[in-house]
A and B are shown apart, each in its own frame.
Chain A
């Protein structure tokens, strides 16, 4: 089942590459619009050879990992806090809804003014774009624990803390993981966004500077790496979910 799914995915990906290559090679025939696949790959190999690509990868990778991990930690804690205290929720709810709906990328230029052109402004923007789906999903997961499980905990005389740790938290795990998956996708958008507004290195920076130099194969290379990373991150989280919450997907087959 999973194997054939993975195979289908791979075939679909390869067909996509082939169509792109045919389009570039025989129809557009202008590398300034769309380069062929081999032009892109050659350019990436070149950039790797000069050591430039590694620097971009390291920079963006570090930004993403820091911002995303902080978003997971504070998103889950924030969601827990929102469900724990009614008055806190009353104060925080309008802000959460408003910030969740705002395209936070728009804060990019401000962050660079406030926090400088380096790592901190990028981490802050990635953190902010990724945290809200995680926070909201955690809150929903905790708030919507099945009443049957809560009754069960109560009937066994579980204390509120035991009920929280043994029932509410594990039952909301699938929600939290789904939030993390959404947060990861938004965080990747945050990486590009943050670097487009001003940076010294990174994949977004590579895309921006290459486009200014009409180095279109490098632009495509950067985009391709982003797409692939996004795919890996989402699949990785899916894998994690299958490990941590094996009941969730299999239960539906019965």
Chain B
């Protein structure tokens, strides 16, 4: 059953006298528990796509319908690094969404401890973000989104600021957390191997205006470990997606 149904979604931005068309007629259905990544050359509107889903931007056309049971907040956003508020401790950052919903304090504390345990940050409740490494901050960021109990996580290049090793560890952690909590995830990334490793399906966007160029199903078996990145099937999928994006970049260079 589809938990998120996106129809004919379009977005244009005014730019002086003209308008810039960022996204054109995107149709996507996402199933419950599915992990979907969105890749594309820079400027293809993939971040805009997530911001539309989350209500940070208003669509110019089309519809987004959400079919989840939880009413409070069906979707939660996991930001790029540094969206943790420096004046709040890790526990206070994680409970931000719950505070906004006026959750009773007991319940809030319980939830915070539970999600910190899920992401492996137990014991860091009273630390400030500046006292944590980049990887740990990103765990806290994920915990903040998990805390509100949203069924759909929207992740905007969450690991882009991390070094290569930490990123791989975080990818493995994310697959674990997602399978434990049965979340539906939409991930925007520019790392194709990350998209293939994590996803059930990879959506390749065209360059501006962003359209859905191709959907690549990832049929690699689960649970996946990092070793899977060395299998021929994995390498083939990465190569396939690379060539799709490369075509886009080349054709957009010829146009200009």
Contacts and interface: CB of A to CB of B under 8 A. Distances in A.
Given A156-B148, A247-B130, A149 B85 contact: yes
Interface stretch (B61-69, B94-102, B105-113): B94-102
The main secondary structure of chain B at its interface with chain A is loop
Interface string B172-191: 00000000000000000000
A148 interface: yes
Contacts, number: 61
Interface size grouping (class) on chain A: 20 to 34
Given A156-B76, A162-B100, A245 B87 contact: yes
B77 interface: yes
A170 B130 contact: no
Among the interface residues B77, B80, B87, B130, which one has the most CB atoms of the partner chain A within 10 A?
B87
Contacts of A159: 100
Given A157-B73, A158-B100, A151 B85 contact: no
B108 to A, nearest CB: 13
Contacts of B235: none
Given A152-B79, A156-B100, A156-B148, A247 B73 contact: no
A158 B73 CA distance: 11
B129 interface: yes
A158 B130 CA distance: 24
A212 interface: no
A86 interface: no
A167 to B, nearest CB: 7
A157 B97 CA distance: 8
Given A157-B100, A246-B128, A171 B56 contact: no
A156 B96 CA distance: 8
Nearest to B154: A155
A254 B56 CA distance: 31
A250 interface: yes
Interface of A: 148-149, 151-159, 162, 166-167, 170-171, 173, 245-248, 250-251, 254
Interface of B: 54-56, 73, 76-77, 79-80, 82-83, 85-88, 96-97, 99-101, 128-130, 148
List of 7 A-B pairs having minimum Cβ-Cβ separation, nearest first = A251-B130, A155-B77, A156-B97, A247-B86, A170-B87, A158-B100, A148-B83
